[in-house]
Amino acid sequence: MTDQTALSFASKTAAGDGVAVVFAEEGPKLSPAAHDLDKKTGGLLARAAQITGFKGKKGTTVDVLAPQGIKFSRIVVVGMGKPASFGHEDWLNLGGTVRGLLSGREGASAHVYLEPVKGEVSPADASSFALGAQLRGYTFKKYKSKTPKKNGNANDDKTLKRLVIHCADPRAAGAAFAPDRAIVDGVNLARDLVNEPANVLGPAEFAQRAKALIKAGVQVEVLNDAALKKLGMGALLAVGQGSDKPSHVVVMQWKGAGPKGGAPIAIVGKGVTFDAGGISLKPASGMEEMKGDMAGAACVVGLMQALAERKAKVNAVGVIGLVENMPSGKAQRPGDVVTAKSGTTIEVLNTDAEGRMVLADCLWYTQDRFKPKAVVNLATLTGAVMVALGKEHAGLFSNNDELADWLIAAGTETGEKLWRLPLGPKYDKLIESKVADIKNTGGRWGGSISAAQFLQRFIKEGTSWAHLDIAGTAMSSVDSDVNRSWGSGFGVRLLDRLIKDHYERR
């Protein structure tokens, strides 16, 4: 669920109650606000710092409860280290760190006096801080049946209600934060979709959630399985045929640049709402994680929501393939040959290599219909990408060096990091089939690469294309300063940044 905490900006000196958060730099050198609170509490902060050995290092804190002589119930001094060298990601992570210190237990409000020892925090940096705080505030409690006791006592509801960020120019910070609010909503929407269990969120329900974007001004079409048959999406339909839940494709269009904006950028997502592996059944251990095999599609929906909410001046198309990969008497078999929309025939060697089959038809349809400027697809495509890169970088494959560099740069700026892996004719050979045009697995070595080669078979000559393998970063995510959710919402901030920097009309 989206953070329940209302965030606002106020002047540097405005009073507050509840928890006060102030800052120190290496030394420790206290910020003016910290210094002021230290004076008002008779030197309490300096003493506490000394007792705990606090030196103002980045990420370290001093916590003081029930300080005498002031209204605040708690003061936290947060070390900034050396903020002079901070970039967007540092402010973002600092916001996340601070939000992580606030539970709501010591008061319904928290007041962050965001200032270094000397100078001021710019509106853009205050906004990055706020973004980090909001992202960290996300929790998914939908299925926790115990809610705070409603006995009329407000003190029983221990959640943080208000977060006020005090800074030099609160009006400008608020204005800078307007687009970031849209990003928070987009990321949290993606997280909600990934965290949702597969009995609640099948292909039809996912499509329904995507339809809600109409409210934000996105055009949404849902193609049902009859429509997909007519379109000839034989690869996507083969994956879904073992499930009782019919497959869907959703097409989302945001026309923020208008007719003069020209061809759109297209984002395509893998939306396997549950990947049991099909007849090539996965082992039981860890199979529950495969409810997150629609994280690519979730990112696309979250991104389209963010673009619409911040009224981005871009023409963007989102296409997601929604299927459930199940074993049954109707399921596809290893050895089957199916025909993709492009006409390419595929020998299905392993029904667990299903994501590439879903994307094959979505990619072809997207290029056919929209003639996009560029296509970026996201998919929790291979376990092998985690063997190669762990969980810190997503795998990037591209046929266009400029697009690849733009994506890597956007990843560095947002902290959603990418690492480029190779494509090439020798790897392409791995998916040649004896009976059909290609087969859906390329053997044991370089599994992420042969999967990417498979996708490239469905990219037309002249289309700029990038594939992000997000199996390690979008689900079962490692904790970070800005994320404690199982589904991280990976890719929304990354692609929003790519679009902002390179595809938006100014």
Where residue 446 falls (left for φ over 0; alpha for ψ -120 to 50; beta otherwise) is left
The DSSP-derived string for 279-325 is TSPPPSTTGGGGGGTTHHHHHHHHHHHHHHHTT-SSEEEEEEEEEEE
Query: Which amino acid is located at 442 in the chain?
Result: G
User: Of residues 243, 344, 380, 414, which one binds ligand BES by CB under 6 A?
Assistant: 380
Residues 436-455 that bind ligand BES (CB under 6 A): 441, 447
Choose from Mn ion, ligand BES, Zn ion, none: what does 98 bind? Cβ within 5-8 Å by kind.
none
Residues 209-238 that bind Zn ion (CB under 5 A): none
Residue 180 interacting with Zn ion (CB under 5 A): no
311 is catalytic: no
Residue 384 interacting with ligand BES (CB under 6 A): yes
Residue 93 interacting with ligand BES (CB under 6 A): no
Token pair belonging to 24: 């120190």
Residues 377-406 that bind Zn ion (CB under 5 A): none
Stretch that binds ligand BES, among 153-161, 363-371, 375-383, 482-490 (CB under 6 A): 375-383
- Residue 253 CA to residue 221 CA, distance in Å, equals 9
The DSSP-derived string for 56-80 is --TT-EEEEES-TTSS-SEEEEEEE
The residues with which 337 forms a beta bridge, in sequence order, are 347
Query: Which amino acid is located at 380 in the chain?
Result: T
Query: Which amino acid is located at 25 in the chain?
Result: E
How long is the chain? 506
Query: Which amino acid is located at 270 in the chain?
Result: K
Choose from ligand BES, Mn ion, Zn ion, none: what does 441 bind? Cβ within 5-8 Å by kind.
ligand BES
Residue 355 interacting with Zn ion (CB under 5 A): yes
Q: How far is the CB of 316 from Zn ion (least distance, A)?
A: 25
C-beta separation of 416 from 92 below 8 A: no
Choose between 183 and 272: whose C-beta lies nearer to Zn ion.
Answer: 272
Residue 196 interacting with Mn ion (CB under 5 A): no
C-beta separation of 418 from 473 below 8 A: no
Residues 463-502 that bind ligand BES (CB under 6 A): 471
Choose between 216 and 272: whose C-beta lies nearer to Mn ion.
Answer: 272
Pick the catalytic residue: 282, 371, 417, 500?
Answer: 282
Residue 357 interacting with ligand BES (CB under 6 A): no
- Residue 112 CA to residue 99 CA, distance in Å, equals 10
Site string for ligand BES, 254-283 (x = CB under 6 A): ---------------------x--------
- Residue 486 CA to residue 335 CA, distance in Å, equals 35
C-beta separation of 351 from 328 below 8 A: no
Residue, CB closest to Zn ion: 275
249: enclosing H helix or E strand: strand 248-255
Choose between 264 and 447: whose C-beta lies nearer to ligand BES.
Answer: 447
- Residue 398 CA to residue 382 CA, distance in Å, equals 16
- Residue 226 CA to residue 237 CA, distance in Å, equals 10
Residues 256-275 that bind Mn ion (CB under 5 A): 275
Q: How far is the CB of 444 from Mn ion (least distance, A)?
A: 16
Site string for ligand BES, 161-190 (x = CB under 6 A): ------------------------------
DSSP-derived letter for residue 432 is B
Stretch that binds ligand BES, among 91-99, 188-196, 228-236, 380-388 (CB under 6 A): 380-388
C-beta separation of 326 from 281 below 8 A: no
Residue 382 interacting with ligand BES (CB under 6 A): yes
356 is catalytic: yes
Tell me the number of residues near ligand BES by CB under 6 A.
14
Give the interface with Mn ion as residue ranges (CB under 5 A). 275, 352, 354
- Which residues have a catalytic role annotated? 282, 356
Give the interface with ligand BES as residue ranges (CB under 6 A). 275, 293, 350, 352-355, 380, 382-384, 441, 447, 471
